[in-house]
Structure formats: structure tokens, C-alpha cells
Structure 1
Amino acid sequence: MAKLDRLLALVHALSDSSDGLTLDEMAERLAVNRRTAERMRDIIASHFDLDEIVDDRRKRFLIRDSLRRAYTRPTPAEVAALQAEVDGQRAAGKAVRAGQLASLLAKVKGALDDREKRRIDPDLDALARLQRTLVTAGPVAVVAPETVMAIQSAILAGCCIEFQYATEDRPEPRWRRVIPYGLVHGPLTYLLGKMPGSGSQPVYFRLDRMTEPKLSDTLGCAPDDWDIDGWLAESFGVWRDERQDVTLRVPASSATRARGWRFHRLQQLEELDDGGLRIRFASGGMRELAEHLFTWAGEIVIEGPDVLIAIMRDRIAAATTMLPA
């Protein structure tokens, strides 16, 4: 470990020095030759901002920032990724989510000093100009910023959230009071809420259908052992119904594509003797699963359950009505 020890010692020496070190001084400190000191300097320069000072025809080197700063400074690629996510959320009409991420982006940029900004600006401009988050077809729903803020405040305060709620079947809003069990972001943003004193499971509430949200005087928070990831894994999508044991068979011709695809976060893959695959998982949401499997038409056989097969037949029959007579 002697080489690593010397390299780390040089990093600290360059950081602790106020005037910098020449290559000869580096070599002397580490008891190595000048060529070795040059190689070590080049390695350090690839990971730290190594300043170069010309002093009486000699070059001196130092790391100006603290070592902690060197490891917390964002890279151009990281800032550009955040910028692309902000632009993608805005393009998808998710103003609240975009606003929160834009605020974070502004704070990240604001924490950079002038020298750091000059260093990353050229790369950031190039990366940000040619990176986008794809906005696909889907629902467009406007969520009021105060709705998200009220739910997040209720989560932090450990109290219920109250609001008026409307649905497609019942456009007249009705008052609701629920314990916030989480926020779920996707094409639409949902509140997971459970009625106080109820033994039922949490249910979804679309944020764009909520009005007049406010914190309740009634205390209520999700239990410490609440596992939101486990709860989400019980269903294929948003719709929740009885969990079914799903079995899908993929022929050898489509196995490569299927191996790189996630049908469910808890799926299990079984390699078949003919080169195909069998995919198993337990989930609710059979209609959403059936509609997703349309994209695999000709490449997958649904072996079970019967309810999924029946729903798929119904969806195929409904799809034929989209075609001209």
C-alpha cells in the first residue's frame, strides 16, 4: 500500500500548502524521483482542481479548496442531468415538481463560486443543449402548488390532511379527511391516504382533483413499519384488486428483449430448455397489465391467471372497435 500512502500524502500536502509545491519539493517530501512526482501530480489533477502558479520560472501546484469541497462539488454532467429533469417536468405539465427541482438546481448553481462556474459552464452548456427528458403521451393534469405543500406539511406535522375531492363519476366535490401515507409521482401524482380509525387499506387520491387542502386538527401519520415500496409492489399500476399469480411465457425469439425488460419489480425469471423464458410474479391490477401486454403481442403467451386471460380477450374485442368497418 506504499504507493497509495504516498499519493494520499501528496494530496494532503498540496491542500495544506498556501504557496504550493514544485515538482522537486513533491519528490523530496515523498522520497521519490521527479518523474514519479510528475505522474502522481497528473493523477491528482484528474480528480482535483489543481492550481498552477508560476514563481520565478518555476511552477508551483496546490489544491485551493478544502478536501471536503472537492468531493461535494457537482460535475457538469450532474448539473446537466438535473437541468434536463427540470425541463422534462415542465414540458410534461408538472409545474409543481418542476418548480421544486428548479429551486434545487438554482441552489446547486448558487453554491458554486466564480472560478467553479467558469470551469463547468462550457461543458454544462454543451450537455444541457443536447439532453432532453422524453415526454410521452399521457394524461395532462394541473396540480396547484399549495396542494403539494399542504400534503408535505401534514406528513411533517404528523396530522391528517383535509380537502374537497371530485371524481369523473361524481364531479360534485365531497369533503375528505385522511392520514397521509405518501406521495406517489408518475404520469399523475397521487396522495396515498387512509381514513382515520379505518381498518381498510390506503387508497389513491389524484392531486389534480383535490381542492381546498388544509392541515387537520386530527393527528395521524403512517406507522413506523409502513413500507410504501412493498405496498406499491402489490399492484401492477394504480388500480388495485385481488393479487393474482401471473405467469408469462416468452419464446426464444423474444427472450433477449424480455431479459432486459421489467414487467414487475418482484418478477422471477425461469430459463426454459427451448431458449425461452417463463416470467412469474404476484400482482393486482390485471387490466393495466393486460393493456401493457398489448405491446408484446406475438411475443408473449399468457399462461395465467384465468382472470388476466379473460380481461385480455375483452380488451382485444374492444380494440377491434377502433378499426374502420
Structure 2
Amino acid sequence: MAKLDRLLALVHALSEATDGLTLDEMAERLGVNRRTAERMRDIISHHFDLDEVVDDRRKRFLIRDSLRRVYTRPTPAEVAALQAEVDGRTLAGQNARAEQLASLLAKVKGALDDREKRRLDPDLDALARLQRTMVVAGPIATVAPETVATIQRAILCGQCVEFHYATDKRPEPRWRRVIPYGLVHGPLTYLLGKMPGREDQPVYFRLDRMSGAMVSDTIGCAPDDWDIDAWLADSFAVWRDEKQDVVLLVPRSSADRARHWRFHGQQQIEDLGDGGLRVRFTTGGMRELAEHLFTWGGELVIEGPDVLVAVMRERIAAATMMLPTGDMRPILSQDTAKGAS
């Protein structure tokens, strides 16, 4: 390990020398020749900001920042990834999340000194110009940033949240007080809340349907053993109904795609002798699962449960209502129908 020991010793020497070191001084400290010292300097320059100072026609080298700073300084790729996330959230209308991430981005950039900014800017401009977070079709729901901040403050304080809440079926807002069990972000942002003093399960509340959110005087926080990930895994998406044992049969022609697809976080895949697969998992949310399986039309078969088959039939019937009136053409061509059978 002598080579590594000398290299680390040179890193520390370059960071501690206020005036820097020449190649000859590096070689003398390490007991190596000038050419070896030059190679070691080149290696160090790949990982540290190595400054070069000309002193009486001699070049001196030093690492200006503390060694800790080298490992905490963000890279252009990291800053560009955060910038892309801010832009994507903004375009999707998720302003509350976008503002928090934008604030973080500003703090990251603000922590850089002028020299670091000059080093970072060229690469950051190139990466930020050609990176985007895709905004897919979905609901447009504006959430007030203060609503998110209020819920987060309630979580930190161990207090309930109070707000007025409206739904599609009941547009007149009604007052609610709930224990915050978590925030769930996605195309829509939800508060997982549970009524204090009840044994009911937590339910979802859409933040865009809240108004007048405030931290309550009533104490309320999730139990220490509450596992939000396990709770979310009980349902395919937002809709929660009785959990079902789902079994999907994937033919050989679609097996490769299915191997690289996540139907559920706790799925189990069984290899069949004919090259096909059988995918099993337990979850609720049969309607949302059925709607997702539309993207697999003709590429898998629902073996169970019966309730999922029934829901799929309902969704197929509803989908036919989108066709023009009087369109009597078969839904599947004969070749497609044979493949599906």
C-alpha cells in the first residue's frame, strides 16, 4: 500500500501548504523522482481542484479548499438533475413541491463561491438545456404552498391538522380535524389522515381540495410503529378496497417485457416451462389495477381473482362508450383475436 500512502500524503501536503508546492518539493517530501511526482499530481487533479500559481517562473500547486469541501461540493450533473425536477414539477402544475425544490436549488447554488460557479456553469448550462422531466397526461391540481408547509409543521409538532374539505359529490366544504399520518406525492398530493379518537384506517385527502389549513391545538401524531410504505403497498394506487390475490399469466412473447416491469412492489414471478411467466401479488385497488392492465392488452391473461376479471369487463364496457355512435366494426381484428385466444 506504499503507493496509496504516498498519494494520500501528497493530498494532505497540497491542502496544508499555504503557498503551494513545486514538483521538486513534492518529490523531495515523498522521496520519489520528479516524473513520479508529476504523475501523482495529475491523478490528484482529476479528483480535486488543484490551483496553479506561478512564483518566480516556477509553478506551485495547492488545494485551496478543505478536504471536506471537496466531497460535499455538488457536481454539474447533480445540480442539473435538481433543476430538471424543479422544471418538471412546475410544468406539471405541482407548484408546492416545485417551490420547495427551487428553494433547495437556490441554496445549493448560493453555497458555491465565485470560482466554483465559474467551474460549474459551462457544464450546468449544457446539461440543463438538454434535460427534462417528462410531464405526462393527468389531473391539473394547484396546491397552495402554505398548505404543504402547514401539514409539515403539524407533523413536526405532533399536532392534528384542521381544514375545510370539498369533494366532487359534495362541493360545499366541510370542516375536518385529522391526525397527519403522512404526505404522499405524485400526480396529485395527498394527506394521509385519521380522525382522532377513532379506530378507522387513515384515508386520503387531496391537498388541492383543502382550504384554510391550520395546525390544530389538539395533539395527534402517527404511532412510532406506523409504516407508511407497508400501508401504501396494500393498495395498487389510491383506491382502497379488500385486498385480493392477483395472478397474471404472461405468455412467452411478452415474458421479457414483464421481467422488467413492476406491477407491484411485492410481486413474485414464477418461470413456466414454456417460456412464459406467472406474476403473483396481493393488493387492493382493483379498478386502478384493471385500468393499468389496459396497457398490456393482448399480452397477458388475468387468471384471478374473479373480482378483477369483473372489474376489467366493466372498464372494457365503459371504454366502448368512447367509440363513435354507430361504429359497428369489431373491437379486435381476426388476427388479433386469434392471438388473444
TM beyond 0.5: yes
Counterpart residue number, 1:264: 264
Tell me the SS of whatever aligns to 1:253.
helix
**What is the deviation of 1:36?**
2.1
Counterpart residue number, 2:223: 223
Tell me the SS of whatever aligns to 1:155.
helix
Counterpart residue number, 2:174: 174
TM-score in terms of structure 1 length = 0.98
Distance 2:11 2:225 in 1: 45
Counterpart residue number, 1:51: 51
Tell me the SS of whatever aligns to 2:47.
coil
- Is 1:95 matched up with 2:95? yes
After TM superposition, the structure 1 = structure 2 runs for residues 4-19 of structure 1, keeping only pairs within 5 Å, are 4-19=4-19
Tell me the SS of whatever aligns to 1:8.
helix
**What is the deviation of 1:108?**
0.5
More moved, 52-61 vs 240-249: 52-61
More moved, 110-119 vs 250-259: 250-259
CA deviation vs aligned residue, 1:13-71 (integer Å, no higher than 9, x gap): 11111111122222222222222222221111111101111222222111000001000
**What is the deviation of 1:142?**
1.0
**What is the deviation of 1:303?**
1.1
Counterpart residue number, 1:39: 39
CA deviation vs aligned residue, 1:262-311 (integer Å, no higher than 9, x gap): 11111112222222221111111011000000001111111111111111
Counterpart residue number, 1:151: 151
Distance 2:199 2:266 in 1: 26
Counterpart residue number, 2:105: 105
Distance 1:243 1:3 in 2: 60
- Structure 1: stretches of 5+ with no match in the other structure: none
After TM superposition, the structure 1 = structure 2 runs for residues 1-325 of structure 1, keeping only pairs within 5 Å, are 1-324=1-324, 325=326
The two structures, once aligned, show a CA RMSD in angstroms of: 1.0
Distance 1:222 1:317 in 2: 42
CA deviation vs aligned residue, 1:238-265 (integer Å, no higher than 9, x gap): 0011111111121111111111111111
Tell me the SS of whatever aligns to 2:51.
strand
Distance 2:57 2:272 in 1: 71
**What is the deviation of 1:222?**
0.5
Tell me the SS of whatever aligns to 2:298.
coil
Tell me the SS of whatever aligns to 1:193.
strand
User: What residue identity is the alignment partner of 2:271?
Assistant: E
User: What residue identity is the alignment partner of 2:26?
Assistant: M
Distance 2:318 2:99 in 1: 40
Distance 1:36 1:228 in 2: 56
- Structure 2: stretches of 5+ with no match in the other structure: 327-341
Distance 2:94 2:205 in 1: 17
Tell me the SS of whatever aligns to 1:46.
helix
Distance 2:291 2:297 in 1: 10
**What is the deviation of 1:152?**
0.8
Distance 1:35 1:250 in 2: 62
Distance 2:100 2:262 in 1: 29
Distance 1:203 1:264 in 2: 21
Tell me the SS of whatever aligns to 1:116.
helix
CA deviation vs aligned residue, 1:126-158 (integer Å, no higher than 9, x gap): 111111111110000111122111111111111
User: What residue identity is the alignment partner of 1:310?
Assistant: A
Distance 1:74 1:134 in 2: 24
**Moved runs in structure 1, 4+ residues, more than 6 A?**
none
TM-score in terms of structure 2 length = 0.93
Distance 2:28 2:267 in 1: 59
Distance 2:69 2:206 in 1: 42
